Chain A
């Protein structure tokens, strides 16, 4: 199994630019989560999907952030326009409903906004 695949691994961009982070969950997993990790705020849940449907987006910081899951094997997290305070590591994780509920994390996308 390839695990959760995220891209890009690293992104450096300038303030105001659009950023798109991508995630491919583990095949057969029907829950997908986006987390953001910073030193100051730790691991924050931004949004999660069940069966491609957004269930809870209360952690999405503001309107500049949006997430989609057009099908079971792909999700995107978009930031438009980006700001320096968005600099963080963004993790995607997936799990299978009905299992122990353990999350399988991708390796993360490290975003730096200058």
Chain B
């Protein structure tokens, strides 16, 4: 079946350092979404990427969708303690489905 893997599984950074998580799908995706889950909370939508090679920014967060639409990345510049949580990518295999497969997640810890 379709698999969506993320690396790294865990990342500990000092506040102010940058952070990147990578998402790789075994199949081509029609689009990819990113979610953030705070400890003890529920996933919250961050952004959606649809086009091959697309890059979007939200303040300190930069999201990329690979040219082959099989991988994606999230980069956080100058992390803050409020960035703590688990970041998930989630992809759809076709435009005709609402089925969203979540990646394995990357847990980010930020030390002040």
A interface residues with partner B (beta carbon < 8 Å): 31, 33, 35, 42-45, 48, 50, 55-56, 91, 93, 95, 97, 100-108
Contact = CB atoms under 8 A, between A and B. Distances in A.
Given A43-B105, A101-B33, A33 B44 contact: no
B98 A55 contact: yes
B43 A45 contact: no
A102 B48 contact: yes
Nearest to B104: A42
Contacts of B31: 101
Given A48-B99, A50-B98, A56-B99, A104 B105 contact: no
Interface residues of B, number: 21
18 contacts: A33-B98, A33-B100, A42-B105, A44-B102, A45-B99, A45-B102, A50-B98, A56-B97, A93-B43, A97-B98, A100-B48, A101-B31, A103-B33, A103-B35, A103-B43, A105-B42, A105-B44, A108-B42
B45 interface: yes
Contacts, number: 54
Interface string B9-51: 0000000000000000000000101010000011111001000
Contacts of B63: none
Given A31-B98, A91-B43, A105-B43, 20 more contacts: A33-B100, A42-B104, A42-B105, A43-B43, A43-B102, A45-B101, A55-B98, A55-B99, A56-B97, A56-B99, A95-B98, A100-B48, A101-B33, A103-B33, A103-B35, A103-B90, A104-B45, A106-B42, A107-B42, A108-B42
